[in-house]
Chains A and B, each alone.
Chain A
Amino acid sequence: MIFKWALQEIKNNKKFASLFVLNLCLGLLGLTTIQIFKSSIENQLNERSQQILTADLGVSMRGVMPESVEPVVKKEFPQAKIQKSKEMYSMIRTEELSKLVFIKAVESNFPFYGNVELEKENLKFREVITPGSSNTVVSKELLTQLELKIGESIFVGEKSFEIIDTILEDSSNAFGNQAFAPTLYINHQDLEGTNLIQEGSTLFDSILVKFNESLEASTLNSMANGLFEKIQDPSVRVTTHQQSGEQVGRLLGYLSDYLGLTALIGLCLAFIACSFLYRNYIQESLKNISIWKSLGASNNVIFKVYGLEIVLLSLIAIAISLVFAFLFTPALIAVANQIMPLNFEPHFEYTDISLIVLLSVIGSMLFSLPILLDALKIKPSYIFTQISNFQWSFKKLLWAVPILGYFYGLSFLASNSFIVSSLFLGSVVLTVIVLFALSELILFLGNKVFKNAKSLTLWSFNTLKFNRFATHTIFITFSLVGVVLILVQQLQYNISQELGQPETNQVPSLFLFDIQEEQRSDFEQIAESLNLEPQVVSPMIRAKLLKVNGKDFEKGERDTSEMTREGQREMRFRNRGFNLSYRDQLLDSETILQGEDFSGETYSGEGFAKVSIEERFAKRLNFELGDKLVFDVQGVPVKAQIENIRQVRWSSFQPNFFVQFQSGVLEYAPKTFLATLPKTNIETKNKLQTEIVKKLPNVSIIDVSQLIKRLLSVLTQMSWTLIIMTVACFIVGLAVMLSISQLLLQKRKRDIQLLKSIGANHTLLYKTLILESVFLISFALCFGGIIGVLSTQIMVNEVFALVPKFNPTSFLLSLGLLCATSYLASRVLIKNFLKEKSYQELFKE
């Protein structure tokens, strides 16, 4: 019976029901799409994680793996199959041309899982990449770039290899390395002849493990933990295939986190609108409720009927939003495939859908309950008196607690980060409070300004004043949309400006690494012969951190899958090897934040050497000024004390280091050099590249402008996706505005008919209503836009440590576009409303 009554209520209030469903559906659409997107990515990364890692378990490190590791692995897993792999960026050359490639040196049984498919159907990868064959297979684009044909030879380091075929599909190529450089496979044994691996070379050395049986994730994880404990060296990583999949998905994880948060704003707006609509609906239903009561219905029954009505409407909204989410997800997946070419496909889990359903229903109930519970207090005598006892009290503010809790939970679910979700919710609440105050201020000032205005203008303004809740709702909704849209857009502008303007911030054109000590003068000679002076030449020394303030430096947890984003980041930092450097003076991209600058001071040989620590690195490892550190530099303990903490502008693309020593300490340690060369023409760049590859074959060169291009393209794709999500938020905002405006217009039907009856013509009324709408929306969007710009400036300065920039053209264009769209929507609504010629409201008894 309750169900039947609830359905009857929906049938009798079709307008409310359809507006409620429309708003909630639009609000849920973003969240639902993101959830399906997340599910698709996670599920497929999980399914293909063995192919991505090519094994069940990987033991890897940056740099050459100590010989002691392999016996430990073999001892720990005596039954397992093992193979070695080394991956690195290096230059290769033909007689005339050279190119940076991603070299994968693998054993002939590679891969344990997945496949490297070659163009020629009759050729098998394992039969081609055999030990001592000097065979290679390469990415197809490399042939074009180096003007090569199959069967011709290339030099990898000092060794010549014959190109047997090109790669058609490589299931392990998931990290997006091929986006920076094409892939080249050689046999692990053949790598020795290339002479590429030298002291301090940058490479990823791995031992891949395959077990005889399929293992549960938890079992594999505990086995990995056991091995990690036995290896001891904190710079050696042990990764299960599941974790490998998660790591690959990290970039997409960040994208979906932020998309999720933007979608949450849309959901928040939708709930505000639904709560407004429900409030209005319940006010109109008070008479019905009092009739129910007078007929003997208990509060319990009425609560169930109206509560069930909300649940039913929410379920309808979820069902519709799911249908549309399935339509939109492929577009989002296409973006993901552009960023990470893994051929993701849309996929969903029933648990995700259940979660969305549950969260939506809880959300709707949380927003509706305070209103419904208030309405239940009505007395049956309301039928006669029509006087409700709705009264504002501070107790009602307590409802904000579960609502905020609910949104905190949602934002944590979206971002998987306590800091991000706290910051997000804190900023949203703060912004809403500021906007509420601004909205009140506008009404207060308007009161003064319009005090002596013509009666019709006054009527219009007073309507805003008398419908404060609706006015604030529309104002806050539009301002929030303005904040988010301008924030995303200006943030993208700031980052792309920083990356994309090499002239202004002296971004180098070439970045060179793995220059051996004995090769330094040769490199400088080559540069000089082409009239190029290196911008920076920095030494790099590999080291391990042994002690902090006399205590052993704790190795981080290996398994980070259950951790928040912050926890994972800290553990990644803890478990990596340290690259140290020294330099006489600070670079332009460095600024001392705390402590003293020790530029020009040479270590006396007594006491602790002075070190400078990068700000965020210090924060993550809880380092403070004055902390005493002991490093293991190639077996020699080196004592140091933190003298200063500095900020580094990483986007300068100059060699920068987390730990920077004063001179006179590390000069005799084995090291390699990193160098940057200034902007030059393509011809000189090519000549330099060819010379270096010929004379210094182990040195790798990154074309920074190409790298920036790729980064900008990923950034643009990600920010466009975010902008689209924000526009979706704007559409929700527009729906909210239209729903509320329509309701307000309905409420003003009698006023409008009266005004017409006393001589206000159609044009005058239209102008008045449009002006009212434009006044409110443009103020809201402008304030939102300004808050958006201010937030961007703070974020760019505080989070990205960049000098904030402002793009007035896109700011004005976006605001103009938003205002124009809102104006057009209002225009359609008002025109349609004024078309009605009936005067029935005036003669109702």
Chain B
Amino acid sequence: MILQVKDVHKSFQVKNKELKILKGVNLEVSQPQTLAIMGESGSGKTTLLSILAGLEPPTSGEVQIQGTDLTQFSEAEMTRFRGENVGIIFQNFHLLPQMTALQNVKLPLELSGDEQAEQKAIELLEQVGLKDRINHLPLKLSGGEKQRVAIARALSTKPKLLLADEPSGSLDIETGEKITQLLFSLIAKYQMTAIMVTHSQPLADRCEVTYYLKNGQLES
């Protein structure tokens, strides 16, 4: 079992009122597995993804990755754990604009102290088809290319768990399809577990399991 979510609740205070987003989410994911979480806008998909990535603590409940309870970590421990075990792909790519494709991919490797960071980053960029664009700044890349760099960056530390927030959401259908194909081929290659938050049915259809987030709870 790579991921275990037990009775996770999340609520926010909005103008002295408690807004309950997640009302007892439970989930178990084995390795390797691809999983899609779908739901209406505002249903709490992104909040759940943030909690799974350790970016946001749950109000109550437990999140375990490979048996380690994330909710017990300090901020520093969480950052280190995330760097080594979790890769995240965002809808808007979020590349650092002042750094080249290579530097963007190299960054997580260097942060984890990998001495072969550059070589590994180049290899990954080759795998996502950007061999000729490694020294380009994000400004000079197309949307699809940016997402390829983002995928390479997310996979650079070979995380056990890959989380993706609408990975093709900002791309046109054709490019989105190409990126989805690339993503799934790499997930298969590296035998990773991936959880994708999406509105896209075709993307969800590619996943082995699909969950729906409704009324703060996951339904299969």
Contact = CB atoms under 8 A, between A and B. Distances in A.
Contacts of B53: 757
Contacts of A761: 75-76, 79-80
B209 interface: no
B110 interface: yes
Contact of B80 (A455, A754, A759, A845): A759
Given A454-B110, A758-B83, A843-B50, A462 B76 contact: no
Interface in A448-488: 454-456, 458-459, 462-463, 465-466
Contacts of A462: 98-99
A626 to B, nearest CB: 66
A455 B105 CA distance: 10
Contact of A754 (B83, B84, B94, B157): B94
B111 A456 contact: yes
11 contacts: A750-B94, A754-B96, A758-B82, A758-B107, A758-B108, A759-B83, A761-B76, A762-B79, A837-B75, A843-B49, A843-B50
B46 A843 contact: yes
Contacts of B129: none
Most buried by B among A463, A757, A761: A757
Interface of B: 46, 49-50, 53, 55-56, 75-76, 79-80, 82-84, 88, 90-92, 94, 96-99, 103, 106-108, 110-112, 117, 153, 157, 165, 169
A517 B83 CA distance: 96
A692 to B, nearest CB: 79
Nearest to B41: A845
B217 to A, nearest CB: 21
A241 B103 CA distance: 76
A758 B111 contact: yes
Interface centre among B82, B108, B111, B153 (most CB of A within 10 A): B111
A842 B83 contact: no
Nearest to A838: B56
Given A760-B111, A762-B76, A751 B96 contact: yes
A763 interface: yes
B80 A465 contact: no
B75 A762 contact: yes
A3 interface: no
B99 A458 contact: yes
Nearest to B153: A758
Contacts of B49: 843
Contacts of A763: 76
A264 B54 CA distance: 52
B123 to A, nearest CB: 17
Contacts of B90: 842-843
A756 interface: yes
A839 B56 contact: yes
Interface residues of A, number: 28
B91 to A, nearest CB: 6
A466 B112 contact: no
Nearest to B103: A455
Contacts, number: 82
Interface string A739-764: 00000000000110011111111111
A844 interface: yes
A842 B150 CA distance: 13
Contacts of B84: 759
A656 B5 CA distance: 94
Contacts of A762: 75-76, 79
A762 B111 CA distance: 12
B12 to A, nearest CB: 11
A839 B55 contact: yes
B182 to A, nearest CB: 20
Contacts of A842: 55, 88, 90, 94
Nearest to A465: B98
Nearest to A455: B107
A458 to B, nearest CB: 6
Interface string A712-741: 000000000000000000000000000000
A745 to B, nearest CB: 15
Interface in A406-459: 454-456, 458-459
Given A455-B103, A459-B107, A463-B98, A759 B165 contact: no
A456 B56 CA distance: 24
A843 to B, nearest CB: 5
A842 B56 CA distance: 12
Contacts of B169: 845
Contacts of B55: 756-757, 839, 842
A839 B75 CA distance: 13
B98 A459 contact: yes
Nearest to A764: B111
B98 A466 contact: yes
Interface string A47-63: 00000000000000000
Contacts of A455: 99, 103, 106-107, 110-111, 117
Q: A462, A754, A758 — which one has the most chain B CB atoms within 10 A of its CB?
A: A758
Given A757-B53, A758-B83, A759-B84, 17 more contacts: A455-B103, A455-B106, A465-B98, A751-B96, A756-B55, A756-B79, A758-B82, A760-B83, A761-B80, A762-B75, A839-B50, A842-B90, A842-B94, A843-B90, A843-B165, A845-B91, A845-B92
B80 A459 contact: no
A458 B107 CA distance: 10
A459 B99 contact: yes
A845 B93 CA distance: 11
A462 to B, nearest CB: 4
A458 B97 CA distance: 12
Contacts of B80: 759, 761
Contacts of A759: 79-80, 82-84, 108, 111-112, 157
Given A455-B106, A455-B107, A839-B56, A758 B88 contact: yes
A463 B99 CA distance: 9
B119 to A, nearest CB: 14
A663 B133 CA distance: 88
Nearest to B54: A757
A712 B168 CA distance: 76
For the complex of A and B, 9 pairs with smallest distance between CB atoms: A759-B83, A462-B98, A759-B111, A455-B107, A839-B55, A761-B79, A758-B108, A466-B98, A843-B46
Contacts of A839: 50, 55-56
B177 to A, nearest CB: 20
A678 B90 CA distance: 85
B160 to A, nearest CB: 14
A755 B103 CA distance: 13
A758 B108 CA distance: 6
Contacts of A756: 55, 79
B73 to A, nearest CB: 12
A463 to B, nearest CB: 6
B161 to A, nearest CB: 13
A759 B107 CA distance: 9
A466 to B, nearest CB: 4
A458 B76 contact: no
B67 to A, nearest CB: 21
Nearest to B75: A762
Nearest to B49: A843
Contacts of B112: 759
A572 B84 CA distance: 81
A750 B90 CA distance: 12
A845 B46 CA distance: 11
B139 to A, nearest CB: 10
A466 B75 contact: no
Contacts of A764: 111
Nearest to B163: A757
Interface string A225-256: 00000000000000000000000000000000
Contacts of B153: 758
B53 to A, nearest CB: 7
Residue in A463, A466, A845 with the greatest tally of chain B CB atoms within 10 Å: A845
Nearest to A452: B118
A455 B112 CA distance: 12
A168 B82 CA distance: 82
